[in-house]
Amino acid sequence: MISVQDIWCTDSAIWIRTADGREAYECFADYRPLRNASPAERKNFTRSPFGLHWPDLDEDLSFEGFFAHKRQ
- Answer for the pair 49, 43: CB distance below 8 angstroms, yes or no: no
CATH top class, domain 4-66: alpha beta
Smallest CA-to-CA distance from 19 within 8, 30, 3, 35 is with 3
Q: Rounded mean pLDDT of 21-35?
A: 96
Please tell me the distance from the alpha carbon of residue 48 to that of residue 30, in angstroms, as a whole number: 21
**Of 72 and 10, the one with more pLDDT:** 10
pTM: 0.90
| Residue 1 binned pLDDT confidence (cut-offs 50, 70, 90) | confident
What's the chain's average pLDDT?
A: 94
